[in-house]
Structure 1
């Protein structure tokens, strides 16, 4: 999830705002980077024929933060073959 999230910042063209020790992004940029990472995980699951009972099981398997469960659920609608039932 972390690698996909960071790749999402790059693909989305996000420009980090830096301070002396850290980079930061807007809340919207963070949400979009998470969405990109979650999408990559769904593609991985499909390619590897991984199947989950629920979207929560998917989130837990890939350490997706609980505050992104709505994004997981939204993307799950387009990846129904990753679930036994949705």
Structure 2
């Protein structure tokens, strides 16, 4: 478990790409199976993996930036000061 945590802390973008590629594609597989549209195979499956891997980058940037986003919103009076306390 420590290896995983060290990897995620040491390589945040690479770990996000791997995690999103696996988990996002698994979600696509489950959704396809539930909808009864058949199975994802070959190039279509690879396409889904690559799309989820690409989406990981802006999503990771957004999560990293949330702390700064909240501070900026408070500074401009768009969020109450209590939002900085982590109460929500």
Q: TM-score range by the shorter chain?
A: 0.3 to 0.5
- Structure ranking higher in helix proportion: 2
| Largest Rg, 1 or 2 | 2
The structure with more strand, counted as a fraction of residues: 1
With the length of structure 2 as denominator, give the TM-score of the two structures: 0.33
Q: Tell me: higher relative CO, structure 1 or 2? Use CA pairs within 8 A at least 6 residues apart.
A: 1
